[in-house]
Structure 1
Amino acid sequence: MDLQVAIDRVTLDKAVALVKQLDTKVDTIELGTSLVKDYGLEQIHAALPTLTHAKLLLDLKTIDEGVYEFEKGFAVGDILTAMGAGAPDMLDGVYQVAESVHKQLFIDLMETGDDRIAKIADFTHAIYGIHHAKDSQAGFDAAATVADFHQKFPQVQHVSVAGGIDLDMARKLARQGIAESVIVGSAIIKTADPVAAAQTFMEAIH
């Protein structure tokens, strides 16, 4: 299982410093939606160092203007997100852009029902993100949700999960062996030593 560390709601200078620290320590570094909105692709591109190990995910949460946003976004990152609730033509378009540049589409399934997922579950190389909304007050059992998703949509090859993941849940997901990656934000970024916290998570899932 891979570890994706989500950086968000910090200054661009802080984000760049964290990227430099975490590049060789984790599998994927995510720059969250708020960062992309606050600073924009061009400013982020100009400020970021070239990564030597980790992939860069930009959480665009695209729901319209898909081809345009993905053509711009893939000039900066390796993985871009689009909302599963978006139009089928939008998802088709961004998937084709991703395929053409040998990069990846991440489909965010937040607030996307089973009927809708069934219609968009055949993008072979896409990552399907099981995402518990930050604003949601409902409880979230990541492992149980992943198991249920896998039973319903066994054709999906790349599953990622986010939403308050702690060390115990990360270990449980790793043992379960369904999710390809786990996304951790505050439990790493908001600690006194993000590098040490990331290393602890990496040890827990490998």
Structure 2
Amino acid sequence: MKLQVAIDRVSLAAAIDLATSLDGIADVIELGTSLVKDYGLIALQDIKATLQKSALLMDVKTIDEGVYEFEKGYEANADILTVMGASDLATLKAVYEVAQKAHKQVLIDLLNMDEADIEPLLIFEDAIFGLHHSHDSANAFDAAGSVKHFHEVFPSIQHIAVAGGIDLEQVQKLSADGIAEVAIVGGKIAGADDPVAAGKQFKGAL
């Protein structure tokens, strides 16, 4: 199981420091949507050069203009880009093709999608499917339980990532179940007093 650390709502200098310090601890360093919106792809494109071991995901949350946004995202040195599953199917097909041609990855964000909406997306066999609990939601989120249910409904999906307030206990459960491919952790690592120590603790739980 991989650990993805989401960096968000910090200064550009802090993002660079966090990415560099967590390189190799996190399998994937995520530059969150707010960070992308605050500074843009051009300002963030050099972060990849600071990473020796971790892959770089830019959470662009594309929902339209897919080809343009994905081409620009990969040009900015992202290894993985995100697209909203609620996008038009034509957009999803377009970004998937861009990713395939670039030999990069795409994560389909399933935020607020039901099972009927997800069914048509099963054609994207190489995509990472991201179960995503809304940051704005006040409801509790059982990450491990959600992954189990998702896998039961969609057993053909091989690449599952899960995000949304995930703590150490949830990571331990996810690891024990062995279903999810990626656990996405944000503030519990990036917002910790000692992000490196927190990252190592989470990594050890995997």
Short-chain TM bin: over 0.9
Give the letter for the 1:95 counterpart: Y
Report the secondary structure of 1:195's partner residue.
helix
Q: TM-score, normalised by structure 2?
A: 0.97
Identity percentage of aligned residues: 53
Q: Is the 8 A contact 1:122 1:156 kept in 2?
A: no
> Where do 1:1-206 residues align within 5 Å?
1-46=1-46, 49-75=49-75, 76-205=77-206
Give the superposition deviation at 1:46.
Answer: 3.9
Report the secondary structure of 2:158's partner residue.
coil
Give the letter for the 2:33 counterpart: T
Q: Is the 8 A contact 1:16 1:48 kept in 2?
A: no
Give the letter for the 1:67 counterpart: V
Give the letter for the 2:61 counterpart: K
Q: Is the 8 A contact 2:36 2:59 kept in 1?
A: yes
Misfit runs of 4+, over 3 Å: 46-50
- CA gap of 1:44–1:114, structure 2 versus 1, over 3 A, is same
Give the letter for the 1:33 counterpart: T
User: How many residues align structurally?
Assistant: 205
1:29-83 Cα shifts (integer Å, max 9, x gaps): 0000000000000111145534210000000000000010000001120000000
Report the secondary structure of 2:165's partner residue.
coil
Give the superposition deviation at 1:164.
Answer: 1.1
Deviates more, 1:48-57 or 1:17-26: 48-57
Q: Is the 8 A contact 1:82 1:107 kept in 2?
A: yes
1:66-113 Cα shifts (integer Å, max 9, x gaps): 010000001120000000000000000000000001110000000111
Give the letter for the 1:111 counterpart: N
Distance in structure 1 (CA, Å) of the matches to 2:184 and 2:145: 16
Distance in structure 2 (CA, Å) of the matches to 1:27 and 1:11: 22
Distance in structure 2 (CA, Å) of the matches to 1:111 and 1:177: 24
Q: Is the 8 A contact 1:122 1:155 kept in 2?
A: no
Distance in structure 1 (CA, Å) of the matches to 2:158 and 2:198: 28
Q: Is the 8 A contact 2:171 2:202 kept in 1?
A: yes
Distance in structure 1 (CA, Å) of the matches to 2:71 and 2:149: 34
Q: Is the 8 A contact 2:28 2:57 kept in 1?
A: yes
Q: Is the 8 A contact 2:24 2:53 kept in 1?
A: yes
1:150-174 Cα shifts (integer Å, max 9, x gaps): 0111111100001111111100000
- Long gaps (5+) in structure 1: none
Q: TM-score, normalised by structure 1?
A: 0.97
